[in-house]
Amino acid sequence: MDASRAGHWQEAWAAAGLAHGRRVAGHRKFYALVAYPGPSGFLHVGHLRGFAYTDPLHRYHRMLGEEVLFPMGVHASGLPAVTWSRRLRDGDPAILQGLEERGVDASTRARLEDPEEAARFLGREYLRVFRRFGALIDESTFVTTVDDDYRAFIRWQFRALNEAGALVKGTHYSPVCPVCGPVAVDASETDLQSGGDADVVRFSTIPFPLEDGRVLLAATLRPETVYGVTNLWVAPGETLVVWHHESGNYLAARPGAERLVEQHGGRIGHEVPAHDLVGREVTVPFRGTKVPILETPVVDLSIGTGVVMSVPAHAPMDAAALDALPPADREKVGDPPVLIDVGPREAWTASEEELNVGEGSPAQRALRAVGVHDLADAAALQEATERLYRLEFVRGRMTVPSLSGVPVRLARERVVDQLRGEGPCFELQEFTKPVICRNGHAVVIRRVPDQWFLHYSDPAWKAETKSLAARVTTWPVEYGRELPSILDWFGDRPCTRRGVWLGTRFPLDPEWIIEPIADSTFYPAYFVVRRFVSEGRLRLEDLTDAFFEFVFRGREPGEPRVDRALLEEVRAEFLYWYPLDFNVGGKEHKRVHFPVFLYTHARLLPPELQPRGIYVHGWVTGPGGSKISKKETSTKAGRIRPTDQAMEEWGPDALRLYYVTVASPSQDFEFDPTGVEAALTRLGDIERLVREAAGTGEGPPELDAWLESATHTWVKRARGAFDATDLRTAAEIVYVEVPRLLRRYYARGGLPGHVTDRLARAWTLFLSPITPHLAEELGEGRFEGLVAQSRLPAPEEYRLSPDAEAREEFLDRVEDDLRSVLRASEGRGDWAPGEAIFYVADPWKRTLETWLRESVDRKETPTVRDVMARVKDHPELSAHRAEIPKYVERVGPLVRAEPVPEGPRIDEAATLRAAEAYLVRRFGFGSVAVYPESEAAPHDPKGRRDRARPGRPAFYLVGRPSPGP
Partner RNA sequence: GCCGGGGUAGCCGAGCGGCCAAAGGCGGCAGACUCAAGAUCUGCUCUCGCAGGAGUACCCAGGUUCAAAUCCUGGCCCCGGCACCA
List, in sequence order, every residue forming a beta bridge with 74; answer none if it has no partner: 144
**Is the CB of 352 or the CB of 777 nearer to RNA?**
352
* Euclidean distance between CA atoms 151 and 543, whole angstroms: 10
φ, ψ dihedrals at 494, nearest 5°: -60, 140
Name the minimum Å distance from CB 422 to RNA.
27
Name the minimum Å distance from CB 457 to RNA.
7
**Is the CB of 458 or the CB of 492 nearer to RNA?**
492
Name the minimum Å distance from CB 818 to RNA.
7
φ, ψ dihedrals at 885, nearest 5°: -55, -45
**Is the CB of 383 or the CB of 677 nearer to RNA?**
677
- Cβ within 8 Å of residue 104, ≥6 positions away: 112
* Euclidean distance between CA atoms 774 and 687, whole angstroms: 8
Cis geometry, peptide bond prior to residue 344 (ω within 30 degrees of 0) = no
Name the minimum Å distance from CB 605 to RNA.
18
* Euclidean distance between CA atoms 653 and 649, whole angstroms: 11
* Euclidean distance between CA atoms 905 and 742, whole angstroms: 25
* Euclidean distance between CA atoms 227 and 415, whole angstroms: 10
Encode burial over 415-442: b for 16+ CB neighbours within 10 A, e otherwise: bbebbeeeebbbebbbbeeebbbbbebe
**Is the CB of 470 or the CB of 821 nearer to RNA?**
821
**Is the CB of 392 or the CB of 542 nearer to RNA?**
392
Name the minimum Å distance from CB 44 to RNA.
12
**Is the CB of 382 or the CB of 789 nearer to RNA?**
382
**Is the CB of 214 or the CB of 455 nearer to RNA?**
455
Interior angle at CA 594, CA 193 and CA 459, nearest 5: 115
Torsion of CA 441, 444, 449, 452, to 10 degrees: 70
**Is the CB of 27 or the CB of 481 nearer to RNA?**
481
* Euclidean distance between CA atoms 525 and 577, whole angstroms: 9
- Whole-Å CA distances, 478 to 471, 595, 615, 667: 14, 15, 11, 12
**Is the CB of 329 or the CB of 677 nearer to RNA?**
677
* Euclidean distance between CA atoms 693 and 427, whole angstroms: 75
**Is the CB of 482 or the CB of 568 nearer to RNA?**
482
**Is the CB of 269 or the CB of 476 nearer to RNA?**
476
Span between the terminal Cα atoms of the chain, in Å: 43
Name the minimum Å distance from CB 84 to RNA.
14
Name the minimum Å distance from CB 833 to RNA.
7
Interior angle at CA 264, CA 283 and CA 422, nearest 5: 35
**Is the CB of 418 or the CB of 729 nearer to RNA?**
729
**Is the CB of 728 or the CB of 846 nearer to RNA?**
728
DSSP readout, 648-711? HHHHHHHHHHHHHHHS-TTS-EE--HHHHHHHHHHHHHHHHHHHHT---S---HHHHHHHHHHH
Name the minimum Å distance from CB 727 to RNA.
12
Name the minimum Å distance from CB 867 to RNA.
18
Name the minimum Å distance from CB 658 to RNA.
9
* Cβ atoms 196, 438 nearer than 8 A: no
**Strands 29-34, 496-497: pairing kind:** unpaired
Question: How many of the other CB atoms lie within 10 Å of CB of 963?
Answer: 6
DSSP readout, 190-206? SSEEE-TTPPEEEEEEE
* Euclidean distance between CA atoms 130 and 592, whole angstroms: 25
**Is the CB of 379 or the CB of 897 nearer to RNA?**
897
Interior angle at CA 53, CA 47 and CA 56, nearest 5: 125
Name the minimum Å distance from CB 813 to RNA.
7
Name the minimum Å distance from CB 537 to RNA.
27
* Cβ atoms 532, 570 nearer than 8 A: yes
Q: For the chain, how many residues are written?
A: 965
In the chain, the amino acid numbered 531 is R
* Euclidean distance between CA atoms 5 and 776, whole angstroms: 10
Distance of CA 393 to the CA centre of its chain: 32
* Cβ atoms 201, 445 nearer than 8 A: no
Name the minimum Å distance from CB 187 to RNA.
5
Question: How many of the other CB atoms lie within 10 Å of CB of 387?
Answer: 18
**Is the CB of 879 or the CB of 894 nearer to RNA?**
894
Name the minimum Å distance from CB 618 to RNA.
8
Q: Listing from the earlier edge strand, what are the strands of the sheet with 427-431?
A: 267-273, 239-245, 248-253, 215-220, 200-209, 427-431
Name the minimum Å distance from CB 806 to RNA.
11
**Is the CB of 41 or the CB of 256 nearer to RNA?**
41
Question: How many of the other CB atoms lie within 10 Å of CB of 327?
Answer: 6
Name the minimum Å distance from CB 330 to RNA.
35
In the chain, the amino acid numbered 518 is A
Name the minimum Å distance from CB 304 to RNA.
19
**Is the CB of 456 or the CB of 798 nearer to RNA?**
456
Name the minimum Å distance from CB 661 to RNA.
6
* Euclidean distance between CA atoms 960 and 830, whole angstroms: 8
**Is the CB of 4 or the CB of 674 nearer to RNA?**
674
**Strands 215-220, 436-437: pairing kind:** unpaired
